[in-house]
């Protein structure tokens, strides 16, 4: 099984073929990060492109996402470094109105591997939920958004934290495909990360 074939199985939404393909690739000694980037993530980009062009619809996107997640479960133990020292706690979620969770899950997985205690808030996370976790003592929160229409809920969440008098008690990291460093600066986030490995680097800086 080469990576091109694996890439195609993700696009076609063939979960069991994706699982088998990831296993074969791992057994062949292919670097797990390369499997992730060149097959799984690249395939999701292509799925997004086809959706944009009207060749794919939501069901195809969903089936491809499930196939990707099946592959990701197998890759997980190979991607995470397994750091034992606790680096602190991070609560991470996908913002209100947004149901995309593959990227958020990947970031959570890498953070866990780097020794952070991760509280996964799930998807469609209301600003009040972030306020509550900060009230409960979490020092770093992560917000993910995949839609241009939901990005603004990052700013709304930051405003809710300010209104609750909690902005100075928490560090905030943001990310997701439409999010940029410029946007992070504009809304007053403390860090932006374009991908999961940079998210780990940024989180380390935030807790230091
Ligand atoms: Co959606 N969708 N989707 N979708 N979907 C996109 C995002 C889209 C770009 C497709 C397209 O048109 N090309 C488009 C958004 C357009 C826009 O706003 N500009 C889109 C749309 C329009 C929609 C719907 C509105 C479609 C509809 O119903 N008409 C709908 C919205 C539903 C909702 O959320 N309310 C919708 C639904 C869905 C599915 C449910 C079918 C499914 C999601 C399933 C799931 O997540 N469980 C889905 C999918 C799969 C996609 C694409 C194809 C793939 C997303 C993905 O998983 N990428 C996507 C196209 C694309 O992104 N190319 C698309 C792989 C993932 C590893 O990357 O999430 O970017 P990503 O995460 C990266 C980085 O961004 C970063 O690290 C990750 C790892 O490198 N990162 C962070 C992410 N979060 C971070 C947080 C951090 C730091 C870094 O700190 C906290």
Domain stops at, among 78, 106, 140: 78
Render pLDDT for 94-141 as a digit per residue (tens, 0 to 9).
Answer: 999 999 999 999 999 889 888 899 999 999 999 999 999 999 999 999
Residues 73 and 94 in one domain: no
| Domain CATH number, residue 66 | 1.10.1240.10
Domain stops at, among 28, 51, 78: 78
Residues 110 and 201 in one domain: yes
> Measuring from atom 5 of ligand 1, which residue has the nearest CA?
48
Judged against a pLDDT cut of 70, whether residue 1 lies above it is answered with: no
Alpha helices in 28-101 (DSSP H): 32-34, 42-52, 58-79
Distance 95 CA to ligand 1 centre (A): 12
> Measuring from atom 73 of ligand 1, which residue has the nearest CA?
103
| Domain CATH number, residue 159 | 3.40.50.280
The contacts found for 121-126 with CB under 8 angstroms, 24 or more apart, are 121/91, 121/92, 121/93, 122/93, 122/94, 123/93, 123/94, 123/98, 123/99, 124/94, 124/95, 124/96, 124/97, 124/98, 124/99, 125/93, 125/94, 125/95, 125/96, 126/96
Domain membership of residue 83 (yes or no) is no
* 151 three-state secondary structure: coil
Render pLDDT for 14-59 as a digit per residue (tens, 0 to 9).
Answer: 999 999 999 999 999 999 999 999 999 999 999 999 999 999 999 9
- The average pLDDT across 50-70 equals 95
Residues 10 and 96 in one domain: no
Render pLDDT for 146-175 as a digit per residue (tens, 0 to 9).
Answer: 999 999 999 999 999 999 999 999 999 999
Domain membership of residue 200 (yes or no) is yes
Domain of residue 50 covers 3-78
Residues 119 and 166 in one domain: yes
Residues 42 and 11 in one domain: yes
Global pTM? 0.94
Q: What is the pLDDT of residue 82?
A: 62
What residues line ligand 1, using a CB cutoff of 6 Å?
A: 41, 44-45, 47-48, 51-52, 58, 61-62, 65, 92, 97-104, 106-107, 142-144, 146-149, 173-178, 193, 195-196, 199
Distance 3 CA to ligand 1 centre (A): 22
Q: Which of 7, 11, 46, 48 to mutate to test the pocket of ligand 1 (most atoms within 8 A of CB)?
A: 48
Question: Domains in the chain: how many in total?
Answer: 2
Residues 94 and 156 in one domain: yes
């Amino acid at each position: 099984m080469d990576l091109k074939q694996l890439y195609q199985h993700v696009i076609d939404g063939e979960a069991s073929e994706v699982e088998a393909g990831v296993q074969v690739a791992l057994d062949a000694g292919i670097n797990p990060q390369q499997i992730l980037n060149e097959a799984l993530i690249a395939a999701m980009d292509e799925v997004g492109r086809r959706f944009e062009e009207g060749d794919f619809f939501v069901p195809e996107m969903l089936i491809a996402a499930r196939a990707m997640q099946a592959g990701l479960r197998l890759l997980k133990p190979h991607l995470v470094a397994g750091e034992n020292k606790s680096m602190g706690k991070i609560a991470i979620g996908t913002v209100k109105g947004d149901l995309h969770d593959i990227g958020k899950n990947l970031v959570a997985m890498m953070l866990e591997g780097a020794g952070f205690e991760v509280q996964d808030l799930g998807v469609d996370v209301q600003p009040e939920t972030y306020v509550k976790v900060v009230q409960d003592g979490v020092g770093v929160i992560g917000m993910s958004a995949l839609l241009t229409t939901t990005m603004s809920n990052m700013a709304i969440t930051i405003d809710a934290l300010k209104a609750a008098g909690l902005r100075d008690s928490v560090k905030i990291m943001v990310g997701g495909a439409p999010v940029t460093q410029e946007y992070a600066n504009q809304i007053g986030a403390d860090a932006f990360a374009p991908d999961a490995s940079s998210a780990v680097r940024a989180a380390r800086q935030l807790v230091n």
